[in-house]
Amino acid sequence: MGSASNPLVTSSVAVDSSPLPSNLTQDDLKKLAAYKAVEYVKSGMVVGLGTGSTAKHAVSRISDLLREGKLNDIIGIPTSTTTHEQAVSLGIPLSDLDSHPVVDLSIDGADEVDPSLNLVKGRGGSLLREKMVEGASKKFVVIVDESKLVKHLGGSGLAVPVEVVPFCCDFTRGKLEELFRGAGCKAKLRVKIGANGGETAPAVTDNGNYVVDLYLERDMGDLEAASEKILRLPGVVEHGMFLGIATTLIVAGKSGVTVRDRFGVKG
């Protein structure tokens, strides 16, 4: 199994182990995890606001608590233009890392989570800004439903994204595929899907870059080594493996909600 930045984590601690209603949708589970994560937010905090279908529930919940007066003096640092637009529409005060280089707490979802709390993120295309904000955070709470738990990164069969510059992007795509040929890697440039369902043009990130998606048939091995290999390639901006960054994992499943913390991290 791949490993990286691998301090042992505590065994799962049940927050609410009573079975949940059987008719809950995946989105309901995401909302449960998000609302639990927002309990970590305290007045006066600088909070990293994640991106995606799970994180949007946390952003909405923070807005509700501000409006109700249960939170105050919150400053949000959005991780994408989409989250920026949502937070503005909800009246959450915003800033950036230039003004607030230390973030008290970030809350975000993940596409995959391995047993050591390493993550794959960025299938929505916001991996660079997410990693900048969450890497600058004292505490990073990851919120997922149980479908995102994997034995090793890439184990879902879905993409491990890499943000690349547009210049000679197919050259970079080929180099990435070569790096992990032993893991059965297929590297594909991400494209936008048109209204008629056809592929149109490369998908562009908030930073004006492209994304190469790595599809792996087997475990890529040592994750720190894999990270270094990717980042050494000219043309690569950042990858979607978040290694040793998450401090707390909140998982919502049919059997309840559980929380896992890394040793030495206070909730």
Q: Give ranges for CATH 3.30.70.260 in the chain.
A: 160-237
Residue 193 is predicted with a pLDDT of 81
Q: Give the confidence band of 2 by pLDDT, cuts at 50, 70, 90.
A: low
H/E run at residue 37: helix 26-38
pLDDT digits (tens, 9 = 90+) for 5-26: 444 444 445 455 556 666 788 8
CA dist list (Å): 219 to 36, 111, 120, 153: 32, 16, 13, 7
Task: Specify the range with the lowest mean pLDDT, choosing from 16-30, 152-166, 176-190.
Answer: 16-30
Distance CA 118, CA 50 (A): 17
Task: Specify the range with the lowest mean pLDDT, choosing from 10-14, 28-32, 115-119, 152-156.
Answer: 10-14
pLDDT digits (tens, 9 = 90+) for 222-241: 999 999 999 999 999 999 99
**10-149+242-262: which CATH number, 3.40.50.1010, 3.40.50.1360, 3.40.50.300, 3.40.920.10?**
3.40.50.1360
Q: Are residues 250 and 108 in contact, defined by beta-carbon separation less than 8 angstroms?
A: no
Sheet holding 256-261, edge to edge: 13-16, 256-261, 248-253, 137-145, 103-108, 46-49, 75-78
Percent of the chain predicted with pLDDT > 70:
89
Query: Which residues lie closer than 8 Å to 213 by C-beta, 6 or more apart?
Result: 123, 159, 160, 161, 162, 187, 188, 189, 190
Within 10 A of 90 (CB to CB), how many other CB atoms are there? 15
Distance CA 82, CA 53 (A): 11
Q: Does the pLDDT of residue 267 top 50, yes or no?
A: no
**What is the average per-residue pLDDT within 244-253?**
95
More confident residue, 263 or 214: 214
Domain 160-237 bears CATH identifier 3.30.70.260: yes
Length of the chain equals: 267
Residue 194 is predicted with a pLDDT of 72
What average pLDDT does the structure give for the chain? 91
Distance CA 217, CA 227 (A): 18
Distance CA 266, CA 94 (A): 26
Q: Are residues 164 and 237 in contact, defined by beta-carbon separation less than 8 angstroms?
A: yes
Q: Does the pLDDT of residue 4 top 70, yes or no?
A: no
Which listed residue (39, 68, 130, 228) is catalytic? 130
> Active-site residue 130, yes or no?
yes
Residue 16 is predicted with a pLDDT of 56
Q: Give ranges for CATH 3.40.50.1360 in the chain.
A: 10-149+242-262
Residue 222 is predicted with a pLDDT of 96
